[in-house]
């Protein structure tokens, strides 16, 4: 098992698959017992000033983050073997043989779609809130829901595409036997998903086209919403509108939080998946093999930590929670000082004749 393989796949064989699986189990326990309960507490108890639609979006997004940690870190545990169009699934559901490749990919696509859609919806509601009355970009309730429904149905095509096109190649066994870089997979526990060979991924290419189309549509939408919100806030700040400093500060902070969240969602969740599909469709054989191996080994740890990064942003930007936490720490320090002073006084009184 010490023989080196192309594209550094011996690292996956000898170390990274097992190490990542163990790390995902540990992180899943930490996230489900600590991160998500605290995140729900922050959303429900420390966001009283949030608009109802924004609070609902945040709550639903946290539900799907928790559900995705259960799915991705416990039941699914996907490990792409780039640049080959091959994936290894070692999670509990895959190990039991409950679901096939198409269903696995469709469930993962569903999580991706809802994650993107919830962030876009939250950003849209915030943008509509900061726009001036009478702005041509300000949509009514019906316009808002039609806009979001169109984006949602468009993204759902990815789920349908995965169910239809994400299936194993009919030459699955031949590919596994005849490719020295992959033959070791037959000794592993779990499910091996083989879409095809290098530069020939069969029907799965249509799903890759859908993913690229979704990125081409959603990226301009996200950037446009961010740009509109920032410009609207600047106009409000420079004009003489009757806005309290507190309201202005809260709106600026919410937009800042949403920009960070959408950015980190892209870095830790969307972009790793995008890189995986780009490598599957257009394997960059011109890259040095160590670069391909490094990118492959980086994608899944980023994917794993998505909920942690979202939680850190929520935690560090929640002023009310931080203020209460500081107050609690100051109160604890005062209690400790009082207790220490009382103990010192008692000892002094005891030693005094």
State residue 70's pLDDT score: 93
Residue 329 predicted with pLDDT over 60: no
Neighbouring CB atoms inside 10 A of 315's CB total: 16
Could you say which DSSP state residue 203 is in? T
Q: At what angle do helices 245-265 and 306-316 cross, to 10 degrees?
A: 170
Do the Cβ atoms of 263 and 109 come closer than 8 Å? no
Asked if the peptide bond before residue 341 counts as cis, ω within 30 degrees of 0, the response is no
Do the Cβ atoms of 296 and 266 come closer than 8 Å? no
Could you say which DSSP state residue 239 is in? S
Kindly state the helix (H) or strand (E) to which residue 52 belongs, with its residue range.
Answer: helix 52-70
Which tens digit of pLDDT belongs to each residue from 241-294?
Answer: 555 555 666 666 667 777 787 788 888 888 888 888 888 888 887 888 888 889
Least confident span in 14-23, 112-121, 256-265: 256-265
The domain limits of the chain are 6-337
Give the pLDDT band of residue 348 (cuts 50, 70, 90): very low
Residues 6 or more apart from 305 whose CB is under 8 A from it?
27, 268
Which tens digit of pLDDT belongs to each residue from 174-229?
Answer: 888 888 888 888 888 878 888 888 888 888 889 889 888 888 888 888 888 888 88
Q: What span, in angstroms and rounded, lies between the C-alpha atoms of 193 and 85?
A: 8
- Of 26, 137, 9, 28, which is closest to residue 81 (Cα–Cα)? 9
Domain 6-337: which CATH number of 1.10.940.10, 2.60.120.260, 1.20.1070.10, 1.10.3720.10: 1.20.1070.10
State residue 282's pLDDT score: 84
- What are the residues facing 191 on neighbouring strands? 89
Output the DSSP codes for 134-159: T-TT---HHHHHHHHHHHHHHHHHHH
Q: What span, in angstroms and rounded, lies between the C-alpha atoms of 322 and 264?
A: 21
Give the pLDDT band of residue 150 (cuts 50, 70, 90): very high
Name the residue with higher pLDDT: 236 or 267.
267
C-alpha pair distances (Å), 63 with each of 28, 241, 268, 328: 14, 37, 18, 28
Kindly state the helix (H) or strand (E) to which residue 341 belongs, with its residue range.
Answer: helix 319-351
State residue 265's pLDDT score: 81
Strand boundaries in 21-75, DSSP class E: none
Q: What span, in angstroms and rounded, lies between the C-alpha atoms of 294 and 8?
A: 9
Kindly state the helix (H) or strand (E) to which residue 249 belongs, with its residue range.
Answer: helix 245-265
Rounded mean pLDDT, 90-100 = 72
Which tens digit of pLDDT belongs to each residue from 34-83?
Answer: 999 988 888 887 665 566 777 787 888 889 999 999 998 988 888 999 88
Q: What span, in angstroms and rounded, lies between the C-alpha atoms of 297 and 293?
A: 6
């Amino acid at each position: 098992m010490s023989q080196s393989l192309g594209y550094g796949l011996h690292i996956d064989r000898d170390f990274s698959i097992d190490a990542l699986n163990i790390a995902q189990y540990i992180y899943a326990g930490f996230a489900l017992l600590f991160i998500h309960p605290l995140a729900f507490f922050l959303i429900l108890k420390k966001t009283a000033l949030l608009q109802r639609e924004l609070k609902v979006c945040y709550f639903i997004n946290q539900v799907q983050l928790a559900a995705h940690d259960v799915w991705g870190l416990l039941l699914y545990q996907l490990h792409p073997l780039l640049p080959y169009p091959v994936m290894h699934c070692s999670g509990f559901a895959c190990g039991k043989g409950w679901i096939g490749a198409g269903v696995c990919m469709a469930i993962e696509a569903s999580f991706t779609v809802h994650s993107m859609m919830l962030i876009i919806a939250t950003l849209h509601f915030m943008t509509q809130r900061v726009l001036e009355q009478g702005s041509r970009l300000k949509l009514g309730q019906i316009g808002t829901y039609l806009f979001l429904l169109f984006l949602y149905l468009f993204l759902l095509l990815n789920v349908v595409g995965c169910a239809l096109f994400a299936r194993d190649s009919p030459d699955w066994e031949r590919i596994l036997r005849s490719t020295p870089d992959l033959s070791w997979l037959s000794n592993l526990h779990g499910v091996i998903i083989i879409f095809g060979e290098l530069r020939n991924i069969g029907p799965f290419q249509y799903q890759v086209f859908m993913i690229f189309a979704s990125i081409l549509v959603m990226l301009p939408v996200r950037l446009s919403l961010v740009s509109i919100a920032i410009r609207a806030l600047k106009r409000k700040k420079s004009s003489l509108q009757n806005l309290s400093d507190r309201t202005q500060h809260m709106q600026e902070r919410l937009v800042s939080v949403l920009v960070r969240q959408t950015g980190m969602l892209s870095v830790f969740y969307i972009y790793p998946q995008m890189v995986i599909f780009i490598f599957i469709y257009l394997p960059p054989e011109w890259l040095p093999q160590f670069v391909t191996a490094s990118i492959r080994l980086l994608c899944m740890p980023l994917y794993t930590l998505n909920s942690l990064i979202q939680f850190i942003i929520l935690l560090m930007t929640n002023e009310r929670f931080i203020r209460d936490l500081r107050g609690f720490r100051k109160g604890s320090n005062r209690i400790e000082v009082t207790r220490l002073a009382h103990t010192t006084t008692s000892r002094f009184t005891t030693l005094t004749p």
